[in-house]
Structure 1
Amino acid sequence: MDLKLEVVVVPVTDVDRAKAFYTEQLGFRLDADFPVDDGYRVVQATPPGSECSIIFGDGLSAAAPGTYQGLLLVVTDIVAARAELIGRGVAVSEPFRDVSGVFHRPGETEREPGLHPERASYGSFAAFEDPDGNPWFLQEITQRAPGR
């Protein structure tokens, strides 16, 4: 049985501001914008090259805006991706790595500044937030682990 992650709901306060951020600044493809009725609107956008989309809008989530954790975008060149996002007006952190070399921890604990010394796949990160403060991470993967 295949189980595919298709959509992640991101809580936001201002739908139009979020739509502009995700589609204009980040370059996500706008898939849908359904203003169903007062208090219920569904906007779907997909990152370039991704099979998984995000949905945000009005009346979609009980989560408070800015509280969604664990959003991650995989890139093949974190330096180039970071530069492109900065050029689009997104405030992106300097590259960093976790002291464990495994994954990043929440917040800024146990971060070491700079790219992974060998630019090893899965080892370098950068961070940014959407206008509501939902944290996003870039992770550089140049060669996937076996079976991935």
Structure 2
Amino acid sequence: MDMKLEFIVLPVADVERAKNFYKALGWREDIDIGEGDARVAQLTPPRSECSIMLGRSLTSAAPGSLQGLCLVVNDIEAARAEMVGRGVEVSEVFHDAGGGMPLANAQGRVPGLAPDRASYFSFASFNDPDGNGWYLQEVTTRFPGRLW
């Protein structure tokens, strides 16, 4: 059986503000329907098969409570620079000194690219206007069995 992650419901306080933020990142607007609490917008990052769905009545989660979302990029420095150029506050690039994942533990973060620029281990972070937390992760070579 094939299964694909199609969309993630993102808790936001203001659909219009959130939609404008993601459109400013170059994301495609797929739908924008309804009004007031029933309004729903769906946007998709470039080349992604997974979208985000924005709406105040889609989830009981508080706006800004979704953390750890990850966007994979093939050049983290270029992606970070493009986002900064689009007005987004993005952290400096970091990696983990202990060989683990620095996402859950900010104290384990080391400034700069991962040694030898190893795939999966260089990150940058940003938040949307509601505080939902995102990571950029550099992947240039996929682990075996993973599709690009």
TM-score above 0.5, yes or no: yes
> 1-side partners of 2:145 and 2:138: how far apart?
18
- Paired residues in the alignment total 146
Are the counterparts in 1 of residues 11 and 55 from structure 2 also a CA contact under 8 Å? yes
Q: Give the CA RMSD over aligned residues.
A: 1.2
Q: Structure 1 CA distance, aligned partners of 2:12 and 2:45?
A: 17
* C-alpha contact 1:65 1:132 (8 A) present in aligned 2: yes
**Counterpart pick for 1:89 among 87, 90, 97:** 87
Aligned to 1:5: 5
CA distance in 1, matches of 2:62, 2:124: 24
What stretches of structure 1 move > 6 A for 4+ residues in a row?
Answer: none
Q: How does 1:1-148 map to 2 (within 5 A)?
A: 1-24=1-24, 26-35=25-34, 37-106=35-104, 108-148=106-146
For 1:38 and 1:66, the matched residues in 2 are separated by 19
The code of the aligned residue for 1:10 comes to L
What does the per-residue CA deviation read over 1:102-135, in whole Å, with 9 as the maximum and x for residues that have no partner? 4333252311111102100001000000001111
Structure 1 unaligned segments of length 5 or more: list them: none
TM-score w.r.t. length of structure 2: 0.94
Identity among equivalent positions (%) equals 60
| Structure with a larger share of its residues in helix | 2
Give unpaired runs (5+ residues) of structure 2: none
Considering fraction of residues, name the structure with more strand: 1
Distance 1:49 1:101 in 2: 29
State whether residues 44 and 50 of structure 2, in contact with CA within 8 Å, keep that contact through their aligned partners in structure 1: yes
The TM-score, its normalising length taken from structure 1, stands at 0.94
